[in-house]
Amino acid sequence: MRACKVAGLSRSIWYYHSKKDNSEVINKLTELAESYPTSGFDEYYYKIRREGLQWNRKLVLQVYREMKLSLRRKHKKHLVKRVKQLLETPSSLSKC
């Protein structure tokens, strides 16, 4: 193909289709997301590992992101800035 030559790609790259099947990982993450909706990726991954499944962390994270399960991070609330005032200094020393 002329377009492949112009782009600098080989034809095999253009026609290549991945053979990965992540359906087991998708099913497990869906099950965990339904059971524990407020948990994040780390908790899901540790539960998967405790069950004895030997999926790579990068694979599970990739599928997790593709499923758009990531939770919104909660930011700290900002306190209202207070007006700074100078400390009062006593006019004379007094003994108690």
pTM: 0.59
Beta strand ranges found along the chain (DSSP E): none
Q: What's the confidence (pLDDT) of residue 93?
A: 79
Separation CA 47–CA 51 (nearest Å)? 6
Q: What's the confidence (pLDDT) of residue 11?
A: 84
Q: What's the confidence (pLDDT) of residue 10?
A: 85
Residue 88 DSSP label: P
For residues 52 and 89, which has the higher predicted lDDT (pLDDT)?
52
pLDDT tens for 5-55 read: 888 888 888 788 878 889 999 999 999 999 998 888 999 999 999 999 999
Separation CA 93–CA 10 (nearest Å)? 89
Question: 64, 70 in Cβ contact below 8 A?
Answer: yes
Backbone torsions φ then ψ of 67, nearest 5 degrees: -80, -5
